[in-house]
Amino acid sequence: MATDKTFESEVPWLLDELCVEFGFCLAASERDTLMNAPPRDVDAFTDAVFAAEGIDPSLHKQLRRAVHNKIEQRVGYLMGSPSSES
C-alpha cells in the first residue's frame, strides 16, 4: 500500500520529533498555528518554531542549525524550496 506524504501531513510528526529531540514542545495554540498555516521553506519554518517557543534563534546558532537540519532532513524534500543554511 502506497502512502502519499504531503508537507502538511508530515507537520504534526515533525513537531512531535522536535519536541522529543530538542525540547520544542509547543503550546497547543502555537502547534495549531503551525499545523494550519505552516511556513513553506525550511528557514521560515525553523524561525517559526523558535518564535513559537519564545526563543531568539540568533542567540542560539548551534541549536538553530540542529533544528534546521532536522526539519530539512524530515520534510525539506516536500517543501519544494531550497534552504539557505547548510
State the amino acid at position 1 in one-letter form: M
Q: Quick check: 26 and 19 in contact, CB under 8 A?
A: yes
1-56 residue pLDDT tens: 445 788 889 999 999 999 999 999 999 999 999 999 999 999 999 999 999 999 99
Task: Kindly tell me if the per-residue pLDDT of 81 is higher than 70.
Answer: no
**Residue, of 79 and 70, whose pLDDT is higher:** 70
Q: What is the pLDDT of residue 14?
A: 96
Q: What pLDDT is recorded for position 7?
A: 86
